[in-house]
Amino acid sequence: MSGLDGRTFISQRSRSVDASGIRKVFDLAARLSDPINLSIGQPDYPVPESVKRAAAEAIAADRNGYTVTQGIEPLRERLAADIRAECGHALPVLVTSGVSGGILLALMALLDPGDEVLLGDPYFVIYKHAVRLVGGRPVLVDTYPTFGFDAARYEAAVTPRTKLLVLATPSNPTGVVLDDRALQAAAELAERHNLILLVDEIYNRLVYDAPCPAALRHAPHRTLLLRGFGKSYGMTGWRLGYAAGPAFLIEEMTKLQQYTFVCAPSMAQYAGLAALDADISGHVEDYRRKRDLVYELLSDDFEMVRPGGGFYFFPKVPDRFSSATAFVEQAIARSVLVIPGSVFSERDTHFRISYAAPDDRLRRGCAILCDLARGV
């Protein structure tokens, strides 16, 4: 019996999305005996014990079935109270299956085929592809070399089909934290052009120089805030996030969650409630120190922006390399795993390094990267 030609069955929607470049690096890593892995986008510390206990207790108490679609009431009430204290506005909350789940629900709720979404370049990998998956059109706004928010650049990209402006702070892959003036400028631009402002704050607790400004403060009636538990509490695989914003949008996202994710994992929701009282200040201090260490190790050999949050640097490769991909291939040949910037950008001039790794690995990996930059 002859095999099926899969190309005749796979949708154009699916074919429009390439396999993640990050996954390709992971595949390469599997072939190396002991790589220095500076590519992983997750913290290297364990879930707090109190959070583990809460999950285990929920399982033992048979809280293993579906929850209500919008999430358990104690967690939603706590999140809503925290947001109200932070930004001064009472807003509804939807508990989601990770921030990625919230992004997809928001795009499905907001976009019709052909609607345009403004994305800063570089961007987190899901943004561009998720927009395409729901029939929208990603419009990329160049933010090089500082990776900040330049309202004029974004405004120049607005058309009658523009419906949504997406920001991430702190950013993946750059680690840049937008200040309050930038967020206010983004809110004013959204007001002028009647846009929804989506702000991804998955790394909001991992900031090192000043608190992460409250994006909801400026235009709560048209801002959707997405946050999660995975990066801050080391529970990335538990798939727990939340959305807060205008009631009309949260209602639509809740309806769509009912027919897609159904609900966030039940035991993770009870664990999330405990996580909100867990102390991660020691990890924040440790990552601040790692940020400073990597900057010290790399800054003489690479042009780069000093990040304010998350756990990434996004350095520019030296001009003697034809592309960042070429640089990364040589780094991998020396057993250092980093991600080429083309995964996150229309440019192939930078690379992403994660400093969520032990200090000895950071020192060894950075030394090899610097040797490459110097041609050693």
Whether residue 69 lies inside any domain: the answer is yes
Residue 68 pLDDT = 97
Q: Are 133 and 244 contained in the same domain?
A: yes
222 and 151 both lie in a single domain: yes
Q: Mean pLDDT for each consecutive 10-residue tract of the chain (376 residues)? A: 71 76 67 87 95 98 97 97 92 97 98 97 96 96 98 98 98 97 97 98 96 90 97 95 97 97 97 97 97 98 97 97 95 95 96 97 98 94
| Domain annotation covers residue 1 | no
Q: Write down the pLDDT at residue 1.
A: 47
Note whether 244 and 330 are same-domain residues.
no
Pair (112, 244) in one structural domain: yes
Among 110, 109, 36, residue whose Cα is nearest residue 356: 36
Return d(Cα 120, Cα 327) in angstroms, integer. Answer: 24
- Per the domain annotation, does 59 fall within a domain? no
Choose the final residue of a domain: 223, 244, 275: 275
Does residue 107 share a domain with residue 209?
Answer: yes
Q: Residue 371 CB: number of other CB atoms within 10 A?
A: 13
Domain identity same for 213 and 358: no
- Rounded Cα distance, 322 and 318, in Å: 9
Residues 71 and 145 in one domain: yes
Q: Which of 245, 275, 305 is the last residue of a domain?
A: 275
60 found inside a domain: no
Are residues 293 and 170 part of one domain? Answer: no
Residue 253 has which token pair? 């996202």
CATH of the domain at 168: 3.40.640.10
The per-residue pLDDT for 9 is 85
216 and 129 share a domain? yes
What is the phi/psi pair of residue 118, to 5°? -85, 125
pLDDT value of residue 376: 84
How far is the C-alpha of 62 from the C-alpha of 230, rounded, in Å?
Answer: 23
Q: What is the pLDDT of residue 14?
A: 83
Which residue, 275, 309, 337, sits at the end of a domain?
Answer: 275
What count of residues does the chain have?
376
Among the residues of the chain, which ranges form H helices?
12-15, 21-29, 49-60, 73-87, 98-110, 125-133, 151-156, 180-193, 230-233, 247-258, 266-275, 281-298, 324-333, 359-374
Q: Which domain holds residue 37?
A: 6-46+280-374
Query: Are 21 and 97 found together in one domain?
Result: no
Asked if residue 185 and residue 129 are part of one domain, the reply reads yes
Domain count within the chain = 2
